[in-house]
Amino acid sequence: MTQPLPRLRVQRNPWNLTRLVARLAKGVAKVDAQREPYATYWDEANADAMSEDGPLWLALGDSAVQGVGASSPDAGWVPKILERLQAENPAWRVINVSMTGARMTHVEDDQLPLIASHDLDPTLVTCMIGTNDFLGGASAARIRSDATGLLRQLPAGTYFGRGGGPGQRRSSAFQQAI
């Protein structure tokens, strides 16, 4: 029998800025409230995917990969891409080990080791990460160092996504540094 995947969560400080802002802004509070239900959704979906056969997509990253901000976890981009993959081959499955609040070191230290510890043989690996590193105030040197370490650990052929959003110009400078 296959060992179940761990329930991955980023531990937050009690003074976390998101929690403080959530008390003042309804939109932030609504998104913050999605944190645990969306993670639980993926815990359950991952358990199902572990018991199935077929090509495996391993999704790594942060809240964007979990679908936080979408109306429901199945309305995020990961389920939409899975639908497209399954249109070509219904046996496709996804294991989404992303973590809301994750930084690059979480992917390297917590998510990637699951490939070896659970004998996963993914056909496709995607990784979207970096927003929390950037918004958390990490220096360009730290982001460069963490990204270099992560990129060395990702399996060959991994699709490493890059998103846009607030601070686009500044984040472009960080992307160039990486």
Which CATH number goes with the domain that contains 95?
Answer: 3.40.50.1110
User: What token pair was written down for 79?
Assistant: 């389920």
Q: Examine residue 2 and state whether it is found in any structural domain, yes or no.
A: no
Domain, as residue range, for 104: 37-177
Does any domain span residue 152? yes
pLDDT of residue 134: 83
What's the confidence (pLDDT) of residue 16? 57
Q: What pTM, to 2 d.p., does this model score?
A: 0.83
How many domains does the chain divide into? 1
Q: pLDDT for 104-163, tens place per residue? A: 999 999 999 999 999 999 999 999 998 888 888 888 899 999 999 999 999 988 888 765
pLDDT of residue 170: 46
Average pLDDT for residues 14-39, to the nearest whole number? 69
Query: Would you state the pLDDT for residue 178?
Result: 44
Decide if 89 contacts 55 (C-beta within 8 A): yes
Residue 23 lies inside a defined structural domain of this protein: no
Rounded-to-10 torsion of CA 76, 156, 178, 129: 20
Q: What is the pLDDT of residue 1?
A: 43
